[in-house]
Chains A and B, each alone.
Chain A
Amino acid sequence: MRIRSLIKRLGSGSRFLRGGKSDSFAPPILREPERFPYGPFRWKSQLPPGTDYAVLASPNLRSWVPVSQGKAQEAPLEYIDSDAPKFACRFYRLLANEIYSANVIGYASVSLPPGFSMISNPFDSSATVAEMFKQWPDGTSLNRFDTRQFRLVENVIKSGKWLAPGEKLLRGEGAIFFNPTSDYKMASFAGEVCQGNLSTPVPAGFSLRASQVPQAGNLVEDLGFPIAEGDVIHLFDRERQNYTLHPYQDGKWPAGPPIIAVGEAFWVAKTEPHNWVQNLVIGS
């Protein structure tokens, strides 16, 4: 009800929501994104006191709705979204003094059933593995694929600590996560959505890859992956704990096209090296 009345008051076609230009006002920057486990999402920004603003949210980076509005105070703006547990992923930006924030931030939750999952971090973030995966038990592991040695390199929790706590899972990098418990768990990635031309090198042979953009969909049609004859995509079925293979033959997907979730990684067997270029521009 609160959001509905907000939309009605602002008017979806108003100049305020369209984001017109203002020469004397620097676009605000959203910072310190933090997702509390199974709880709210929080971020901060700083606006000149007295500035009118609206917080816009989106589940997919395409459709945006205002979820809050106000007038900036002296203190930094702190936004807490207590509805975060209702969304698998959600993105935020500010519209202040008719200008959109310089960046978009958000979070994405991934389900981690018992056993293995192939995951990726779709955000720019300074968070370390120890910060991303808190309060996990001994035996939890994160494995990245070393393309020079052609093997997985393991980081594991022993005696309550990650062996390499400062390791980072960079944007678009895939990894295999192991949940040693018998419980379904969740993990959340949070950070800034990277925009512009994003290039991921895909070598010939096997590599573990993921989208640099936090969007779900058909790997080729929606995410722009450069598929070629003879390539094979391996997705991992977390429920059944085995792979599903998607070979690309005669210009078709005999087993159906690979559909990728936000925060999901995949193996690709590439016949020729290629650059995977994704272009993300979040417009008004």
Chain B
Amino acid sequence: MKAHILFVDDEAPIRELLSLYFRKKGLEVTTAMSAQQARELAGRLEVSLAILDVNLAGENGLELLSFFRTNYPKVPVIIFTGLSGQDLVAKALASGASGFMSKGDSLDALFTTVCRHLPQEGPP
């Protein structure tokens, strides 16, 4: 069974390109444009890993991280942001994030990070 990624980002360019790239690499990807949509999808899908943008419209990605930690504690969550700063990294990791990805990273680097955090199945 393919690893299933839930990718939450309200910025279409990066969300669509990255999900396209991950699919070409053999992952199954479902995208969400908002925290609300992500919550609904998490309840319906068997998610292997979630990628959450920090600056979601209407709701902070770190708040969504708390939702995942409470309701889906076994699902690794990677925080994805264009922002930099050790404070944000520390806060995300303290809140239970498994990893951190920067929007400035190359597609290959992002894929490597995702594979590193995929539970059991490992890279596709």
User: Which residues of A are at the interface with B, using a C-beta cutoff of 8 A?
Assistant: 115-116, 139, 141, 143, 145, 150-152, 154, 176, 178, 180, 205-206, 234, 236, 240-243, 267, 269
Contact = CB atoms under 8 A, between A and B. Distances in A.
A151 B106 contact: no
Contact of A241 (B14, B16, B107): B107
Contacts of A176: 16-17, 20
Q: Is the interface of A mostly helix, strand, loop or mixed?
A: strand
B24 interface: yes
Given A242-B104, A242-B106, A267 B13 contact: yes
In the complex, the 7 A-B pairs of residues with the closest C-beta atoms, listed nearest first: A206-B12, A267-B13, A234-B13, A152-B16, A241-B107, A241-B106, A242-B106
Instruction: Give the interface size class of chain B.
Output: 10 to 19
A42 to B, nearest CB: 35
A150 B19 CA distance: 13
Interface string B80-124: 000000000000000000000001111110000000000000000
Interface string B29-42: 00101000000000
Contacts of A269: 11
B12, B13, B104 interface centre (most CB from chain A within 10 Å): B13
Contact of B21 (A116, A145, A240): A116
A33 to B, nearest CB: 31
Given A150-B33, A154-B20, A115 B14 contact: no
B13 A178 contact: no
Contacts of B17: 116, 176, 236, 243
Nearest to A115: B107
A145 B106 contact: no
28 contacts: A116-B17, A116-B20, A116-B21, A141-B20, A145-B12, A150-B12, A150-B33, A151-B16, A151-B31, A152-B16, A152-B20, A176-B16, A176-B20, A178-B24, A180-B24, A205-B12, A206-B11, A236-B17, A240-B106, A241-B106, A241-B107, A241-B108, A242-B106, A243-B14, A243-B17, A267-B12, A267-B13, A269-B11
Given A115-B107, A267-B12, 11 more contacts: A116-B17, A139-B24, A141-B24, A150-B12, A150-B33, A151-B16, A205-B12, A206-B11, A241-B107, A242-B107, A243-B13
Counting chain B CB atoms within 10 Å of each CB, the highest count among A145, A205, A236, A243 belongs to: A243
Contacts of A116: 17, 20-21, 107
Contacts of B16: 143, 145, 151-152, 176
Contacts of A267: 12-13
A145 B33 CA distance: 15
A143 B14 CA distance: 14
Residue among A180, A205, A242 with the highest chain B CB neighbour number at 10 A: A242
B20 A178 contact: yes
Contacts of A243: 13-14, 17, 103
